[in-house]
Amino acid sequence: MTDDGAGRVVLIAGPTASGKSALALSMAQRRDGVIVNTDAMQIYDTLSIVTARPTALDMRVVPHRLYGTVPATTRYSTGRWLDDVRGVMEGDKGRTLIFVGGTGLYFDALINGFAAIPEIPAAVALEVQQEIQALDADGRRAALMAVDPVSASRLRVVDPQRLIRALAVQRVTGRTLSSFQDAPQVGLLDGVDVERIVLEVERDVLRDRIARRFEKMFESGAVEEVEALLAQSPDPHLPAMKAIGVPEISAWLNRSLSSEDAISQAITATHQYAKRQRTWFRNRMGDWPRFDPLSS
């Protein structure tokens, strides 16, 4: 990992609780940097503590972009994130941009581009959802095969969400989802000097950090954040409603879980998420330099 400030873009990926935000803050202070959120859940407002966003103090120390900028009661997509990143790159031109987060798809889209699939109206998605809700696994595969055999051939399992998306895209645009995905794509970093880092923390250390962090969240405002989100009567299928901690704290609030079980289940879910992140980084970022910020 270099520290001469020469790179105009730095990418810091890593599993949850691996110390990404602290490293990004330190690097931004040394390089006149701007930190750009590359985490799909930290984009939402209301859930600052639950999603482990940088603190208000950290955000005053150096500029942070795309944190808490989207209402938690709305949907947000990778395509919209890329559009917002374009605005950041234009507005902060000339400064070192430090992209930090754990959402592998965001990094992949930033580097390799992302299919420009039009936004699907919520009413169309709901209509398709109602049409397919009685289908079993074989029925879902047959339905996808009928409209987009290329997509069907790529999926080992056709789950309801993937089927809804494919059918809705075809209904709105008249084109298959695979035709959008197979179109030539260009990332946003062509011609840019890019430094890449994947944080790789020893597994037992990470497990301990995850447990201690969520216990602290539960005591320091996570419950109040979930209460504030639920008070807005959000659609239970919204992405923010699936943020780790929200289902578990919601279950505690409605008395279907004890506080101990809510914390335990949230910690287990976080461990499982970190494992999926590590698998993504190993498979898709195998050539990125590894760094353990907690080893010293």
* Residue 17 marked ligand-binding: yes
Closest among 57, 63, 77 to 122, alpha carbons compared: 77
**121 marked as binding residue:** no
Alpha-carbon distance of 38 to 40, in angstroms, equals: 7
Q: Where are the beta strands (DSSP E) in the chain?
A: 9-13, 33-37, 64-65, 96-101, 194-199, 290-291
Backbone angles phi, psi at 72, to 5 degrees: -65, -15
Residue 258 labelled as part of a binding site: no
**Cβ-contact 103, 12 below 8 angstroms:** no
Rounded to 5°, the CA angle 69-281-238 comes to: 35
Structure tokens at 189: 């970093």
Block residue for tokens 């923010």: 240
Q: How far, in Å, CA of 156 to CA of 147, rounded? A: 17
Please check if 19 is assigned to a binding site.
Answer: yes
Is 296 annotated in some ligand binding site?
no
Rounded Cα distance between 212 and 54, Å, is: 17
For 198, the 3-state DSSP assignment is strand
Q: Say whether 234 counts as a known binding-site residue.
A: no
179 is in an annotated binding site: no
Annotation-wise, does 56 bind a ligand? no
The single residue listed with the structure tokens 């995850």 is 210
Q: Report the C-alpha gap between 157 and 137 in whole angstroms.
A: 8
Rounded Cα gap, residues 173 and 292, in angstroms: 46
Cα Rg for the chain, rounded, in angstroms? 20
Annotated binding site: which residue ranges? 14-21
Annotated binding site for substrate: which residue ranges? 16-21
Annotated binding site for ATP: which residue ranges? 14-21
